Structure 1
Amino acid sequence: MFNVIYLITIILYCLSVLGYFIDFIQNNRKANRIAFWLLSIVWVLQTTIFLLRMAELNRLPILTQFEGLFFYAWVVVTISLFINWYFRVDFLVFIANVFGFVMMAISLFVPTGDVSQQLSQLLISELLVIHVVLILLSYAAFNLAFAISLMYVMQHQMLKRKIWGKRLLRFGNLSKLDKLAFIMTMFAFPTFLLGIILGFVWSSIELGELPFTDAKVISSLVVLGVYAVYLYQRVVKLVRGYTMALLNIAAFLLLLINYFMLSRFSEFHLWY
């Protein structure tokens, strides 16, 4: 049943993203509505999968690479649906869920099994669970900030080149996009920081050391520093607009490198 539900979820997610893409290209409101309801069904199925796996493993399913990718996609769908329902930012759900769908698609190619019993005994602790949840929540929020910043850059270029039309109007005004990107980053930054701190605390308690020389830890601190620069420029220097959107995009690309590439060189995240 788990495999069947997961396959159906992937197919519906693909159709939803396709519907949003058609709307983006053709300004097709009907495709947008169908895509929204398909994405809502995807969220229900994702939640069902999450609960089934939690009941099967008797723990919060976020510790393996498969579970992390799935949880990431679930959070992206959840937050994007919320923003779309309350703020009505057209195209945001499409751009954000391209990444959510990619994460779920990648999860098809990683092992779905549980961690070993010995490793499970080491990992099952409140500190580590909170650490992983906070990190994945921050990743999803940074994802949405990236999507909003990308929309800002696209609209800025359309205005600069005087490309008028319905699509331009549906992006919303630039100041609203700038504010939403800032809000999402403001939520994600302290969440990411707290996640890193709790990771250090867990490592100190369980392993008796602080992994400052680990590749993924170093890269995570670099990513944190880049987002700190963004917030400093935005809050203290009062910088707005195109430059800040580009900085937010660059920071998220660094985050992707940190998540996918540098994890391979990590000696600390043994289970991921």
Structure 2
Amino acid sequence: MLGLHLLYIFIIVFYCMSVSGYFIDFIQNNQKVNRIAFWLLSIVWILQLIFLLLRALEYSRLPIMTIFEGMFFYSWILVTFSLIINKVYKMDFLVFVVNLVGFSILTISLFAPAGDVSAEFADLFILELLIIHVVMLLFAYGLFTLSFSFAMLYYFQHHMLKKKRWSDKMSRIGNLSLLEKRSFQSALFGFPFMLVGLILGVIWGWTELATFPWNDIKVLSSFLLLAMYGFYLFQYKVKQKRGYGLTLLNIAAFLVLLINYFLSSSFSQFHIW
């Protein structure tokens, strides 16, 4: 247990250094710092993976059952996406934005209950259906976070262009059409993960619970979130809508995601996070 605590501290420290490095690179356009930040982020990914594996061995289960584990796994997904983005798109500032969210999630997890769950709930959670349900939703949250990050870059770029404040730093963010396209693509990949995840959750609920709680705040906010992203994708693909207004819709959907993730669980009848 002490080893896991020390490992967690190392993860926090290296993650903080990496995020700080990407910020310094954006301000000073320092490629040496950028490379250091990337390798620090790679170390964070490895340490997080080791942490998850050790916790899985310690509790003999997939470590996504507690609030702390859910946040930690969410953060690991964001780091994974960041490393892929860094290699595929070469958008350093996007990596900074994504990991600013990831580091915040990881830091908040410090205040979340980190202990094991009750034996009764653990027995229920062993069901493969529920495990897949949780993992798919976490991947959906990760992809929606990525979509939000592109949207925020669009928002920032849009206002800078409107105010005619151009600088070399803005060229590293990317043009508006590309940011909008990447934001749509990320949300498009995340939508089926959430849809299938919710369907599996409903099937599990009907199987294990006497009556499925459709009026549960977590259930309602989850389907509201799905509807908002579905509407966003519909407006982009079918209605061919583009521009600032659609970006604001994407950002609003992510705010609902945060409410769904952090607040609704406190009032939920059966969700622990």
TM class by smaller structure: over 0.9
**Aligned counterpart in structure 1 of residue 252 of structure 2, from 250, 253, 263:** 250
Distance in 2 (CA, whole Å) between partners of 1:123 and 1:209 is 18
**Aligned counterpart in structure 2 of residue 200 of structure 1, from 199, 202, 222:** 202
User: Which ranges of structure 1 fall in alignment gaps of 5 or more residues?
Assistant: none
Residue 129 of structure 1 and its aligned partner are, at CA, apart by: 0.1
**Aligned counterpart in structure 1 of residue 155 of structure 2, from 153, 156, 163:** 153
Which residue does the alignment assign to 2:97?
95
Matched, 1:129 2:116: no
Paired amino acid for 2:75: A
Which residue does the alignment assign to 2:215?
213
Paired amino acid for 2:148: F
Residue 83 of structure 1 and its aligned partner are, at CA, apart by: 1.2
The alignment's TM-score, normalised by the length of structure 1, stands at: 0.97
Residue 46 of structure 1 and its aligned partner are, at CA, apart by: 0.5
CA contact (8 A) 1:9 1:46 kept: yes
5 Å matches for 1:37-186?
37-186=39-188
Paired amino acid for 1:87: Y
User: Which ranges of structure 2 fall in alignment gaps of 5 or more residues?
Assistant: none
Residue 188 of structure 1 and its aligned partner are, at CA, apart by: 0.6
Paired amino acid for 1:164: W
CA contact (8 A) 2:22 2:92 kept: no
Task: Please identify runs of 4+ aligned residues in structure 1 that moved more than 3 A.
Answer: none
Q: What SS does the corresponding residue of 2:92 show, helix, strand or coil?
A: coil
Identity of matched residues, %: 54
CA contact (8 A) 1:96 1:144 kept: yes
Distance in 2 (CA, whole Å) between partners of 1:47 and 1:79 is 14
CA contact (8 A) 1:27 1:166 kept: no
Aligned residues: 271
Distance in 1 (CA, whole Å) between partners of 2:97 and 2:108 is 17
Distance in 2 (CA, whole Å) between partners of 1:27 and 1:150 is 20
Which residue does the alignment assign to 1:266?
268
Which residue does the alignment assign to 1:4?
6
The alignment's TM-score, normalised by the length of structure 2, stands at: 0.96
Residue 232 of structure 1 and its aligned partner are, at CA, apart by: 0.8
Q: What SS does the corresponding residue of 2:62 show, helix, strand or coil?
A: coil
CA contact (8 A) 1:200 1:211 kept: no
Across the aligned residues of Structure 1 and Structure 2, the Cα RMSD in angstroms comes to 1.1
Which residue does the alignment assign to 1:229?
231
